[in-house]
Amino acid sequence: MTHSSPPVRCEELTVGYHGEPVLEGVSFTVETGATLALVGRSGCGKTTLLKTLAGILDPLDGEATIHGTRVPHSPPGGELGYIPQSLGLVMHETVLTNVLHGRLSDLGAIRSLLGRFPTDAKTDARDAIERVGLGGYEQRRVKELSGGQRRRVAIARAFVQEPRVLLADEMLSELDSETAHSIVDCLATLQAETDMAAVIVEHNLTVANDISDTVLRLGTGGIEERIERTRDPVSRQRHE
């Protein structure tokens, strides 16, 4: 794989469960700094595709790569950030500790097991918590938070990692409009600073259009429509 290869690449990819395809022949690329949104009715395969890109599910056919690493193998630690629909938080731990988990790849094995995070990691984690609107909640346990607050913790955990590729499943669900706007701003800033590529599952087509460079509408068995967007920088930071 050459250095110029796009961060995310799928070629004739077939995904599904237990050998049964949900989507077939899916091909697309996501370039450096770009956002691709996956939309479509419930059950059409959006989450299945995202889980396959994340290495959780094996492809049934075809090929997908994340920064040159062929799925389901994982790219080097810290290069891939994933926000699952289930969020994947440790409920009995604090907000700060959960966000710091995004920096585990920066630590050695012993420090990871002991949870000994360097000062700069803690500073970055607190900054990420502040940016998603949870300043002052650092020592609150996740189990004490609302659904929307937990989602913001998961977003902060992914953002503090500064991955080269972000995969996010319904990142903006359960959030009020003001908070959603701030999260989109955070995403835009992070992409501008790091050239991160993003693949986002989004149920709202209007939001998907406003925050992405490409929208893939998934339907029965594959891609039904591909919409290329031309947006100015402001449109990456605000949606109605």
What pLDDT shows up at residue 205?
A: 87
DSSP calls for 173-222: TT--HHHHHHHHHHHHHHHHHH--EEEEE-S-HHHHHHH-SEEEEEETBE
What pLDDT shows up at residue 199?
A: 97
Instruction: Kindly report the pTM of this predicted structure.
Output: 0.86
What pLDDT shows up at residue 237?
A: 42
**In this structure, CATH architecture of domain 1-75+164-172+195-240:** 3-Layer(aba) Sandwich (3.40)
What pLDDT shows up at residue 85?
A: 87
Domains of the chain, residue spans? 1-75+164-172+195-240, 80-162
What pLDDT shows up at residue 206?
A: 87
What pLDDT shows up at residue 169?
A: 94
What CATH superfamily classification does 80-162 receive? P-loop containing nucleotide triphosphate hydrolases (3.40.50.300)
Those residues whose C-beta lies under 8 Å from the C-beta of residue 48, and which sit 6 or more positions away, are: 15, 16, 17, 22, 23, 57
One pLDDT digit (tens) per residue for the chain, 240 residues? 444 689 999 999 999 999 999 999 999 999 999 999 999 998 899 999 999 999 999 999 999 999 989 999 988 877 899 999 889 899 999 999 999 988 876 665 445 455 677 788 889 999 999 989 899 999 999 999 998 899 999 999 998 988 999 999 998 888 888 888 888 888 888 898 889 999 999 988 888 988 899 999 999 889 999 998 765 544 444 444
Those residues whose C-beta lies under 8 Å from the C-beta of residue 134, and which sit 6 or more positions away, are: 95, 149, 152, 153, 156
Identical fold for domains 1-75+164-172+195-240 and 80-162, yes or no, is: yes
What pLDDT shows up at residue 110?
A: 46
